[in-house]
Amino acid sequence: MSEKKRVVVTGLGIASSIGMTADSFWSSLSSGTTGIRPITQIATDDFRTRIGGEIPQEQIDSSLKELGFRPDERSVSLAHIATAQALADAGLFTAGEPPVRSEAGVIYGTGVGAAHSLYAAYAAFAEKGMKGVRPTTVPRCMANSITAQLSMKFGLTGPNYVTVCACASATTAIGAAFRMIRDGYATQMLSGGSDAFFEPVTFAAWNNLGVMSRDPDPNRACKPFSADRDGCVLGEGAGTIVLENLEHALSRGAAIHAEIIGYGESSDAKHITSPSVDGQVQAMRAAIKCAGINPAEAALINAHGTATKANDETEASSIREVFGKAADSIPVVSNKSYFGHMLGASGASETIASILMLKNGKVVPNLNLENPDPACSLNLPTGSTIDLQGDIVVKNSFGFGGNNAVLVLKRAES
């Protein structure tokens, strides 16, 4: 067996309700600024939940115009914006110039896929019948249209495919890309996730599922690990990272943001929506074993932390079982109170947040946590940023369907 390659991150890109660049994203995280606001894309008068981590349309339009890109399916446009940033950050793309074709591949996660295009197609069919459905519906509505469009837009000739694992989609995609590079099947990979679902049918389904917060105050609604939490708040967006093997990154003089040292995944195999301690523990232990570390070496756990009763309690129990007494001291944070639950893109945005915390040596606080749930007995920092006491972050992502995916990230060597 060939020697395992070290895998590093050389590019970051983000499109979110708290920032459309990595710098603005970090500024909002470090200042405790939320991007949750009243939803404007659809009429919400009949909905119990009327808020979300929505990206203002003018910000999307402005970003696309700066890149010289035309608008596409919303999830694709967000992926284009985040990916252009990540490739530019890695020194692999310049806006306004033709892309340099490479053998890099793209593995991207999505939970819903082309939701806006699907809704438009169904609405057209309901109104006009078969004549209302355009032939372009097929390529626009394929789940893999996201990676297909990314590969064509940026000249990525390696493998391209999407992972669809609900809320674990992006983390699973990054894990797959990590393994491809580590095991020598690729030198460079682009990975992350995108989801945009503020259209009437998808949002109505989530509204009726009964797991979203009904708090009308956007600044207070998302409260992971709080005793008075009443559900998650959804948020759209995309996050992209560029991964490559360390030797290749050094040979071209690339700046290294962080290193991925471990990945683990599992399936609960129990229930389609209810999480399982056993499954989460299995994934965390697999990631830690892959990384070759002891649990107590973790300086931070970036939790899935959805602010639903079942998820937060289950995840707290899982962390306790894996980390033991170290769980008393390792900070645990959930970023979803800042930008909402991005479903299939959440793992990408939260991985980028983890990398930025490593780079800046700071832990961003949990928002809206004045009343911690005793059933979530963890070290849950609040207030302002605190110093990160170490070099390793464990990033959890858990999803409907029983999908569990966990990354272990390490600070880049100076």
Residues involved in catalysis: 167, 304, 341
Distance, CA of 31 to chain centre: 20
Give dist(CA 372, CA 310) in Å, integer. Answer: 15
**What six digits make up the tokens of 175?**
């894990």
Q: Alpha helices of 32-104 — where are they, by DSSP H? A: 57-67, 74-89
Closest CA to 263 of 123, 196, 335, 163: 163
Which letter does DSSP use for residue 132 in this model?
G
C-beta neighbour count of 269 within 10 angstroms: 9
Residue 122, burial from CB neighbour count under 10 angstroms (0-12, 13-18, 19+)? middle
Give residue for tokens 């297909």. Answer: 148
**Helical H runs in 273-341?**
277-291, 309-323, 336-339
| Structure tokens given for 184 | 């020598």
3-state SS, residue 37? strand
| DSSP symbol at 390 | S
Which of 255, 185, 172, 177 shows the shortest CA–CA distance to 4? 185
Grouping H, G, I as helix, E, B as strand and the rest as coil, residue 398 is strand
Instruction: Report which secondary-structure segment, H or E, holds 242.
Output: strand 237-245
